[in-house]
């Protein structure tokens, strides 16, 4: 197995053996994936494993992991598997269904993705996220197969025999320096309406140079939680998220808006739309989210969404 | 020979639902399709007939899923003409398990690609709509200036575009599809053939669960998933009125032979319900996996 590793802290179980210079420009040195301590490894099947570092900055006050951070991880491992299954073509995430168990992470946060169906136009992948023996989340994803050969930046996960074989460790030197949503630059414009903004910065780019899918889900997660926490009158966390990606976010700022569909004392549901305000307000994403009562630490400060004007 | 010309073939699920479906594509012409900017939209109405009701008085979750599939699938089909569609994945969130009815379902296409289309759908209780908050325009049932007229259910359906032998269904535009109610309907789960066995929930593949393509109707597979998820939750302590509040279902291969077996595992018990994994296999086709789903079952 070839191991590509950039300079910086190494925390992954795949960091060993041969070290070669990274030939690709993605992700850049200052990037969310590095701050999350992301590592990935490709295996026959294809199976793709990956993980992010556990820290207080990716957990909710209840101790569970922020749904948005999990979405970044499952999008990457699922996409890594779909990339292999669709070669030589590129892929783009078309939808994601993320179901959280609400359990807390007590150790490293690791995911494994496998292919459920590989067709000519779409690939379906499933990913489980675990911390030790605890299942934190299960995700299903559809990836569109691009008609053209892949021209995105990023690692090519094939060994000399053309079998999937690669390990990468993007861990940066510092880890996530601030709470997850603050690191993404999420800014709450109107909490009750779930209006939250995010910029399309290089820090959040995907390999196409657009806003990464996991960052979009993080925006959806923050929007739903904001609106439903206001509507339910208690801090709630996203539990089931259905996201359909319609267009890439290339200009920004990208803004969400949530419509509360149900608000009970212990749970609520919201529909969220995401628009690229810098691209004629183009509709990028539609989603619906169920959020439930936080069982521990309720009332604590939510994970890092800044207020406009704060 | 066109697969869709036989008016009797693959219509049992539609007849059971009694769905009357009309095209309301923006512009009113129904002239959506390649070369236009208009994406199709449909609105359907269905009586909440007694045979669709669950023992607790609400609608069977499976019937609700089939209703969504029966409206959003044709909307996607219109978007990809002259091709036609099969469902590849369906997500649905159910907010009210016991609507009064009749039900109005709207479906509008969000994205049309060369190989796939995505439609959003909402199911509303007409009684709730009468109290204000929306209209049957297929666009917006959530008011900007007040509490929403909560839908019974909402979600999205993705379809793959295929080239059926003999061409797509011979449809006049704007579309109007009406399935006259079955004069002697049988209870929903009897029609689908749900069998709760000790190891799994099964569904035989009969003419009643086929679609016009000659494969198992997406709504029937969804109904099996719903029944299996509720069965698993009941085994873990859920009450009789518990319903499938959330489902994300991926169709992986056509069901052809049967019986279809839905095996389940409870992934988690959360404060809001049971999270259940459901895998559907076609036992008569080499036990091939035909669908994979995760559902959340909640007490009513």
Are B9 and B135 in the same domain?
A: yes
Are B70 and B140 in the same domain?
A: yes
From the DSSP assignment, how many helices (H) and strands (E) are in chain A?
A: 4, 15
The whole-number pLDDT of residue A226 equals 97
pTM over 0.95: no
Task: Tally the C-alpha atoms within 13 A of residue B174's C-alpha that lie toward its C-beta.
Answer: 16
Interatomic CA distance for residues B97 and B111, integer angstroms: 29
DSSP labels, A141-185: EEEEEEEEEP--SS---B-TTSSB-EEEE---SS---S-HHHHHT
Are B250 and B292 in the same domain?
A: yes
**Pick from B158, B246, B275: CB nearest A142:** B158
pLDDT > 80? residue B203:
yes
Are B200 and B175 in the same domain?
A: no
Q: Do A266 and B271 touch (CB under 8 A)?
A: yes
| Residue A103 contacts B, CB cutoff 8 Å | yes
- pLDDT average per 10 residues of sequence, chain A (310 residues): 34 33 70 95 93 94 94 97 90 96 93 96 97 96 84 66 76 89 97 97 92 97 97 95 96 97 94 97 97 62 46
Among A120, A122, A121, A156, residue whose Cα is nearest residue A140: A122
| pLDDT confidence band for B114 (50 / 70 / 90) | confident
| Residue A295 contacts B, CB cutoff 8 Å | yes
Interatomic CA distance for residues B113 and B92, integer angstroms: 22
Are B72 and B216 in the same domain?
A: no
**Mean predicted lDDT score pLDDT of chain B:** 87
The whole-number pLDDT of residue B190 equals 93
Are B58 and B161 in the same domain?
A: yes
| Residue A293 contacts B, CB cutoff 8 Å | yes
Strand pairing of A134-149 and B41-46?
Answer: unpaired
- Per the CB < 8 A criterion, the answer to whether A102 and A236 are in contact is no
Are B126 and B236 in the same domain?
A: no
Are B10 and B73 in the same domain?
A: yes
Q: Do A99 and B294 touch (CB under 8 A)?
A: yes
Are B172 and B237 in the same domain?
A: no
The whole-number pLDDT of residue B130 equals 52
A 185-244 residues with CB < 8 A to B: 239-240, 242, 244
Are B206 and B161 in the same domain?
A: no
Q: Where in chain A is the domain with CATH 3.10.129.10?
A: 1-177, 179-310
Q: Do B155 and A288 touch (CB under 8 A)?
A: yes
Q: Which residues of B touch A288 (CB under 8 A)?
A: 91, 93, 154-155
Q: Which of B152, B181, B210 is the last residue of a domain?
A: B181
Among A128, A101, A80, A45, residue whose Cα is nearest residue B292: A128
The whole-number pLDDT of residue A9 equals 33
Residue B136 within any structural domain of the chain: yes
Residue B197 within any structural domain of the chain: yes
Task: Tally the C-alpha atoms within 13 A of residue A257's C-alpha that lie toward its C-beta.
Answer: 8
Residue B187 within any structural domain of the chain: no
Interatomic CA distance for residues A214 and A203, integer angstroms: 12
Residue B131 within any structural domain of the chain: yes
As a 3-state breakdown, chain B gives helix, strand, coil percent values, each rounded to 5, of: 20, 35, 45
Q: Which of B115, B149, B181 is the last residue of a domain?
A: B181
The whole-number pLDDT of residue B10 equals 75
Residue B5 within any structural domain of the chain: yes
CATH C-level class of A179-310 = alpha beta
Are B109 and B205 in the same domain?
A: no
Interatomic CA distance for residues A198 and A238, integer angstroms: 19
pLDDT tens, B230-287? 999 999 999 988 999 999 999 999 999 999 999 999 999 998 999 999 999 999 999 9
**Pick from B93, B148, B275: CB nearest A99:** B275
- Per the CB < 8 A criterion, the answer to whether B129 and B106 are in contact is no
Q: Which of B181, B206, B241 is the last residue of a domain?
A: B181
What percent of chain B has a predicted confidence (pLDDT) above 90?
Answer: 66
End-to-end CA distance of chain A: 49
The whole-number pLDDT of residue B198 equals 85
Are B176 and B30 in the same domain?
A: yes
> How far A101 CA sits from the closest chain B CA (Å)?
6
The whole-number pLDDT of residue A296 equals 56
Expressed as residue numbers, the domain containing B260 is 193-300
Residue B233 within any structural domain of the chain: yes
The whole-number pLDDT of residue B240 equals 87
- Per the CB < 8 A criterion, the answer to whether A65 and A101 are in contact is no
Residue B98 within any structural domain of the chain: yes
The whole-number pLDDT of residue A301 equals 38
CATH C-level class of A1-177 = alpha beta
Q: CATH number of the domain at B53, please.
A: 3.10.129.10
The whole-number pLDDT of residue A108 equals 93
pLDDT tens, B54-103? 877 889 999 999 999 999 999 999 999 999 999 999 999 999 888 988 99
Q: Which residues of B touch A295 (CB under 8 A)?
A: 271
pLDDT tens, B124-180? 998 765 544 443 343 344 334 444 467 999 999 999 999 988 888 888 889 998 877
- Per the CB < 8 A criterion, the answer to whether A204 and A215 are in contact is yes
Number of folded domains that form chain B = 2
Interatomic CA distance for residues B62 and B235, integer angstroms: 19
Higher per-residue confidence, B216 vs A158: B216
């Amino acid at each position: 197995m070839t191991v590509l590793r950039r300079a910086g802290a190494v925390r992954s179980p795949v960091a060993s053996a041969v070290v070669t210079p990274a030939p690709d420009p993605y992700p850049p040195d200052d990037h969310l994936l590095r701050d999350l301590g992301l590592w990935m490894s490709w295996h026959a099947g294809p199976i793709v494993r990956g993980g992010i570092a556990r820290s207080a900055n990716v957990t909710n006050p209840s101790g569970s992991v922020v749904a948005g951070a999990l979405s970044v991880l499952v999008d990457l491992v699922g996409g890594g598997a779909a990339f292999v299954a669709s070669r030589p073509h590129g892929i783009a995430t078309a939808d994601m269904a993320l179901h959280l168990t609400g359990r807390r992470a007590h150790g490293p946060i690791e995911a494994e993705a496998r292919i459920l169906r590989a067709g000519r136009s779409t690939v379906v992948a499933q990913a489980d996220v675990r911390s030790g023996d605890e299942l934190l989340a299960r995700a299903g994803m559809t990836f569109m197969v691009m008609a053209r050969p892949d021209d995105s930046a990023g690692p090519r996960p094939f060994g000399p025999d053309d079998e999937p074989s690669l390990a990468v460790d993007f861990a940066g030197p510092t880890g996530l320096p601030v709470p997850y949503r603050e690191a993404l630059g999420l800014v709450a414009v109107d909490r009750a309406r779930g209006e939250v903004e995010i910029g399309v910065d290089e820090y959040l780019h995907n390999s196409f140079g657009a806003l990464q899918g996991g960052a979009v889900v993080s925006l959806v997660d923050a929007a739903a939680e904001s609106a439903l926490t206001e509507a339910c009158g208690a801090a709630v966390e996203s539990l089931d998220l259905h996201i359909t990606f319609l267009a890439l976010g290339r200009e920004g700022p990208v803004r969400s808006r949530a419509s509360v569909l149900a608000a009970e004392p212990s749970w609520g549901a919201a529909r969220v739309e995401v628009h690229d305000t810098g691209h004629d307000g183009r509709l990028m994403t539609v989603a619906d989210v169920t959020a439930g009562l936080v069982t521990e630490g309720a009332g604590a400060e939510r994970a890092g969404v800044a207020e406009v004007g704060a | 020979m066109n697969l869709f010309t036989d008016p009797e073939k693959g219509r049992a699920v539609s007849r059971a639902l009694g769905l009357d479906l009309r095209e309301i594509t923006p512009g009113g012409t129904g002239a959506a399709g390649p070369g236009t900017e208009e994406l199709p939209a449909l609105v359907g109405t269905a009586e909440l007939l007694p045979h669709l009701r669950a023992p607790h008085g609400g609608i069977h979750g499976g019937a609700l899923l089939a209703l969504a599939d029966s409206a959003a699938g044709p909307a996607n089909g219109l978007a990809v003409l002259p091709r036609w569609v099969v469902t590849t994945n369906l997500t649905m969130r159910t907010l009210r398990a016991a609507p009064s009815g009749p039900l109005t379902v709207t479906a509008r296409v969000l994205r049309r690609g060369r190989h796939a289309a995505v439609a959003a759908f909402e199911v509303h209780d007409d009684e709730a709509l009468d109290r204000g908050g929306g209209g049957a325009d297929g666009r917006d049932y959530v008011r900007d200036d007040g509490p929403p007229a909560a839908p019974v259910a909402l979600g999205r359906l993705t379809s793959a575009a295929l080239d059926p032998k003999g061409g797509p269904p011979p449809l006049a535009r704007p579309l109007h599809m009406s399935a006259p109610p079955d004069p002697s309907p049988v209870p929903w789960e009897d029609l689908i053939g749900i069998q709760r066995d000790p190891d799994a929930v099964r569904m035989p593949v009969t003419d009643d669960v086929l679609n016009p393509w000659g494969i198992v109707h997406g709504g029937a597979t969804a109904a099996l998933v719903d029944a299996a998820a509720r069965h698993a939750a009941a085994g873990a302590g859920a009450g009789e009125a518990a319903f499938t509040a959330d489902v994300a279902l991926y169709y992986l291969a056509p069901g052809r032979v049967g019986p279809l077996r839905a095996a389940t595992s409870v992934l988690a018990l959360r404060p809001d319900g049971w999270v259940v994994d459901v895998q559907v296999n076609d036992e008569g086709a080499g036990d091939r996996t035909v669908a994979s789903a995760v559902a959340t079952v909640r007490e009513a």
